[in-house]
Amino acid sequence: MWHDRAVLHFLVDEADRQAYLATLQAVVRPGGCVIIAAFAPEGATMCSGLPGRRYDEQGLAELLGPEFTLLEHSRYLYQTPTDEPRPYVYTLFRRDRAKDG
């Protein structure tokens, strides 16, 4: 099980995203699940002074690649302590097979 609530959307550089994916693919075996929550398309572009990248469920599916199947997705509107709305997309994937296998 891989659960990410606040990392991927802060990886704005391609090299950082590729390192994240390499780690995810190394530890999630076929049959394993991946939960990722990320800033939704209408979500934040900055958070805590850091730039963020926005995703929808299809963008996350493309990022993970064909080894992963999107099982569920939903939108969630988080209210910050300062009462600022933050739209997120939550996704659940299953790893069906090893890369290139």
Other C-beta atoms within 10 Å of 67: how many?
17
CB 38 within 8 A of CB 20: no
How confident is the model at residue 100, as a pLDDT?
A: 66
Q: What is the mean pLDDT of residues 17-36?
A: 97
Q: How far apart are CA 65 and CA 40, in angstroms?
A: 19
Does residue 80 fall inside a structural domain? Answer: yes
Q: Give the range of the structural domain holding residue 56, as residue numbers without chain letter.
A: 2-95
Does residue 21 fall inside a structural domain? Answer: yes
> CA 63, 69, 74, 79: dihedral to nearest 10 degrees?
-40
Q: How confident is the model at residue 32 (pLDDT cuts 50, 70, 90)?
A: very high
How confident is the model at residue 99, as a pLDDT?
A: 72
Kindly report the pTM of this predicted structure. 0.90
Q: How many domains does the chain have?
A: 1
Does residue 45 fall inside a structural domain? Answer: yes
Note the residue count of the chain.
101
Does residue 13 fall inside a structural domain? Answer: yes
pLDDT at 101 over 70: no
Does residue 100 fall inside a structural domain? Answer: no
Angle made by CA atoms 63, 30, 75, in degrees to the nearest 5? 45
